[in-house]
Amino acid sequence: MSRSPVPVELLTAPPQSPAAWRPGAGEPGTPRPRRPRLSPAAAYLMQKVLAPSPAKRALGAAIERWPLARRMFTAAERASKEQLFGCRMCAQCALPVTGYSCPMGCPKELRNGPCGGVGPGGACEVHPGLRCVWVVGYERAAAQGRQGDLRRLQRPVDHRKFGESSWLNYWAGRDENLWTGDDALTPEGRPPL
């Protein structure tokens, strides 16, 4: 376990405060938008660092062979992404194509864009004191010239996967079908479900 990519204290630390905790798998309550703590530039840089590669695929496979390693890796992912993005561990991470603003923080868990109830200033309809995750996501993606990502159609979430590590799923290529290409709006790009 000395190879673990995160400090041990992250693996064992409880959620920072009750207010910072967001409902996760199997927990009651309405999700709340969480403002990402990582700047768009830093988030897209992280995307490059985390991109799948043969080495990461092998690392992921090694971690998955060992239940304790898998648990610790997943706990580390949970702890860091909870702090940075309000992650709820859906294990089907959409962040790379949503401007790194988590759609699972939307009270309606909308994966394909904002509902029609967004307030004139960009406020969430359900939590008027918070900004809509999609308004934030659009701004963040546009700031990096990545707004075209939001055109992708997102397929339905598999609720069995809640609590798994999305990074392991990502490296193993298990979530390649989560969304369509960014040409989905063209007649040629019209995607099958």
Partner 1 sequence: MSALSDRLAAGKFTVTAELSPARGASAAAMTARAQLLRGWVDAVNLTDNQGSHVRMSSWAAALTAKSAGLEPIMQMTCRDRNRIALQSDLLGAASAGIENFLFMSGDHPKFGDHPGAKPVFDLDSTQLTWTARTMRDEGRLLSGVELKPPPGPIFLGAVENPFAPPLEFRAERAGKKIAAGAQFMQTQYVFDVDVFAGWMARLGDLGLLERCHILAGVGVIRSARMLEFLASGKVPGVVIPEPVRKRLAAVPAEQTGAEGAKLAAEIIARLRELPGVAGVHLLTAGYEKQTPALLEMAGVAEGRGPAPAAVAERAPDGD
| Piece of the chain touching partner 1 by CB under 8 A; list 13-21, 55-63, 73-81, 101-109 | 101-109
| Piece of the chain touching partner 1 by CB under 8 A; list 12-20, 45-53, 67-75, 179-187 | 179-187
Q: Does 147 bind partner 1 (CB under 8 A)?
A: yes
| Piece of the chain touching partner 1 by CB under 8 A; list 12-20, 46-54, 73-81, 178-186 | 178-186
Looking at the DSSP bridge assignments, the partners of residue 154 are 179
C-alpha radius of gyration, the chain, whole number: 17
Q: Does 60 bind partner 1 (CB under 8 A)?
A: no
Q: Does 104 bind partner 1 (CB under 8 A)?
A: no
Q: Does 109 bind partner 1 (CB under 8 A)?
A: yes
Write the CA distances from 156 to 4, 144, 159, 193, integer angstroms. Answer: 32, 26, 9, 9
Exposure b/e, 29-48, CB count within 10 A at least 16 = b: eebbbbebebebeebbeeee
Compare residues 35 and 159 and give the one whose CB is closer to partner 1: 159
Among 18, 54, 67, 116, binds partner 1 (CB under 8 A): 116
Compare residues 31 and 86 and give the one whose CB is closer to partner 1: 31
Strand, helix or coil for residue 46: helix
Compare residues 163 and 189 and give the one whose CB is closer to partner 1: 189
Residue with tokens 């290529």: 173
CA triplet 42, 57, 89: central angle to 5 degrees? 55
Give me the least distance between CB of 166 and partner 1, in Å please. Answer: 19
Residue with tokens 């509902």: 115
| Piece of the chain touching partner 1 by CB under 8 A; list 11-19, 66-74, 75-83, 133-141 | 133-141
Number of alpha helices (DSSP H) and beta strands (DSSP E) in the chain: 6, 0
Give me the least distance between CB of 130 and partner 1, in Å please. Answer: 13
Name the phi and psi angles at 48, rounded to 5.
Answer: -65, -40
Distance CA 80, CA 158 (A): 22
What residues make contact with partner 1 under the rule CB under 8 A?
A: 30, 107-122, 125-126, 132, 134-135, 138-139, 142, 147, 150-151, 153-156, 159, 184-187, 189-193
